[in-house]
């Protein structure tokens, strides 16, 4: 494969140097496009000469941002985002009353592990005196 720049359509919301929405066009080198084409389903589609491709219909986020390296930094970031969640919006919470890790992942731009969400939420509850 050459390292030429090729135009693709974004089929899933994509976080890279900026956020790309479904249907956006993005120009990538073969090297940068390869991992995005190898996901299941692919995150991007090659645009034809007519500028058309099959339309994406999934709005899942693919995170290319990295989580903070230190656990304490990840927990702090999770706590900040969890505090922003609407307590009345049941789609943002688990049946057990914790913030949904997938919602936090979308907010933060990196994969939030359930264990880290649990730890962060317990710290929030302790600080509120609600353990």
pLDDT digits (tens, 9 = 90+) for 79-116: 988 988 999 999 999 999 999 998 998 888 888 999 99
Q: Do 13 and 33 share a domain, yes or no?
A: yes
In this structure, of 30-34, 90-94, 110-114, 127-131, the range with the lowest mean pLDDT score is 127-131
Pair (94, 123) in one structural domain:
yes
Same domain? For 9 and 57 the reply is: yes
* Segments forming the whole domain that contains residue 41: 5-63
**Pair of tokens at residue 26:** 């993005």
Structure tokens at 82: 């969890």
User: Are both 46 and 77 inside the same structural domain?
Assistant: no
Provide the number of structural domains found in the chain: 2
Tens of pLDDT, residues 58-69? 344 444 557 788
Tokens of 5: 């720049």
CA angle 16, 22, 28 (to 5 degrees): 45
Question: Do 48 and 76 fall into the same domain?
Answer: no
């Amino acid at each position: 494969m050459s390292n030429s720049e090729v135009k693709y359509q974004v089929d899933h919301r994509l976080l890279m140097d900026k956020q790309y929405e479904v249907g956006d066009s993005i120009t990538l080198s073969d090297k940068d496009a390869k991992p995005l084409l190898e996901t299941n389903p692919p995150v991007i589609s090659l645009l034809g000469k007519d500028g058309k491709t099959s339309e994406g219909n999934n709005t899942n986020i693919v995170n290319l941002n990295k989580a903070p390296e230190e656990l304490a930094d990840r927990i702090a970031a999770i706590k900040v985002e969890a505090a922003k969640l609407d307590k009345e919006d049941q789609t943002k919470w688990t049946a057990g009353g914790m913030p949904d890790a997938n919602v936090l992942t979308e907010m933060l731009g990196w994969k939030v592990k359930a264990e880290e969400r649990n730890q962060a939420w317990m710290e929030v509850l302790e600080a509120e005196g609600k353990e």
